[in-house]
Amino acid sequence: MRICHVITRLIVGGAQENTLLTCRELHARGHHVTLLAGPQTGPEGSMHLDAETGGHDVRIVDSLRREVNPWRDWIALARLRDILGQLNPDIVHTHSSKAGILARLAARDVGVPVIVHTIHGMSFNRTQSLPARWLYTCLERYCADFTHRFICVADAMTEQAVAAGVAPADRFVTIRSGIEITRFDAELYDGRTVRARLGLPIDAVVVATIARLAPNKGYEQLIAAVQLAAAIDPRLRFLWIGDGPSRPHYQRRLEELGLGDCVDFVGLVRPEQIPELLAASDMLAHASLWEGLPRAAVQALLMGRPVACFDTDGSREVVADHQTGRLVPMGDVNLLAKAICDLAADARQRTAMGRAGRQLCLQQFDYRAMVDGIENVYFEVGGDRLRPPSIGRGDR
């Protein structure tokens, strides 16, 4: 098949990792894959090199940017029409809000037979202003008329989209966001060595957080929880993995609260470094206010580390309260701090929850199973025209 994936930016992030794994594996299976992306990166890091080494074609669309700009967005739409007209793909598969709208419009305009959109997180959500939510809801409803199938990374995304009137439930399918699970095995890493390198005490209880240092990732709430938890258990050390525009603000706030010594900023790291940092940790704290299904939680559970997080969007589909971690009401910093302290106080509980979480995630998050599901969607929607010819006995 000729397949074109489109995403707004190739920053370091869950949607981007998902998309690049999909493109790479589809290419390995013999399909002709092209990835279209905007040029923007940022303090979150870039995955452009990862894209270029996946074996598939990559094209940068300079006018495709995250910020809303009617004139530039119109140019991006025209450029996407031109490229898709040249490529003549069987399938256009879009990701993220901006690319999801513009590329689906372009695909419809040039007559692409199959249009698929993955919802990694709702384009309209609780963190936006009411006008922005209204605009994105209207755009999603409009584009749904010519979207043949929606792939959601969590059942919660389907529920929210159907409730908002985007499309009926039978147009949605849940396919978990795949991960290279063989890299996430605690037996492969020496957590003590990593702790020593980071200057973390061997007897500390280390709480990792993996998220962009940016608004809506819940750091304001997490800082409040850190203040409460550190006052209860002085062994706690917090390891913040990632970077972003709000880092200076958070560092100042921690210093003002006298918490600078118990929070370590690792900064931006390559995705392949995440497993060893989790190996040096005892649990993950995830406080994001808007998420499809938290990829960081899956990564931590694959490493056998339980998760304390807010009950938001798809979180409960991997973080089962008192089974694979602790799930607390959205925004409740007191209960988040208590969950962290409870896990810190009971190593046996952490081990049991981590083991249960690893088994769950091994079953559901292998990226090869993800691509199996995506291929099946393509064949189901495209019908016989996209299926490979059957091989008869005489041809074997």
Amino acid at 226: V
Tens digits of residue pLDDT in 126-146: 777 888 889 889 999 999 999
- DSSP SS3 for 111: coil
Residue that has been written with the tokens 């209960």 in this structure: 335
On average, the pLDDT of the chain sits at: 92
Domain boundary assignment for the chain:
2-178+366-395, 181-364
Tens digits of residue pLDDT in 337-366: 999 999 999 999 999 999 999 999 999 999
Fold adopted by 2-178+366-395: Rossmann fold (3.40.50)
Model confidence at 392: pLDDT above 90: no
pLDDT score recorded for residue 13: 83
pLDDT score recorded for residue 390: 47
Phi/psi at 100 (nearest 5 deg)? -60, -35
> pLDDT band at 159, cuts 50/70/90?
very high
Model confidence at 7: pLDDT above 50: yes
At 314, list the tokens: 């798809």
**What is the number of other CB atoms lying within 10 angstroms of the CB of residue 164?**
15
Q: Which residues of 147-156 are buried (b: 16+ CB within 10 A; e: fewer)?
A: bbbbbbbbeb
- Separation between Cα atoms, residue 182 and residue 148, nearest integer Å: 33
Domain 181-364: give its CATH superfamily.
Answer: Glycogen Phosphorylase B; (3.40.50.2000)
**What is the number of other CB atoms lying within 10 angstroms of the CB of residue 145?**
9
Q: Which residue has the higher pLDDT, 218 or 42?
A: 218
Model confidence at 296: pLDDT above 80: yes
pLDDT score recorded for residue 394: 38
pLDDT score recorded for residue 384: 65
CA-closest candidate to residue 111, choices 94, 87, 79:
87
Residue that has been written with the tokens 């513009």 in this structure: 102
pLDDT score recorded for residue 388: 56
> pLDDT band at 271, cuts 50/70/90?
confident
Tens digits of residue pLDDT in 208-255: 999 989 888 999 999 999 999 999 999 999 999 999 889 999 999 999
Q: Do residues 151 and 173 lie in contact, with contact meaning Cβ atoms separated by under 8 Å? A: yes
- DSSP SS3 for 348: helix
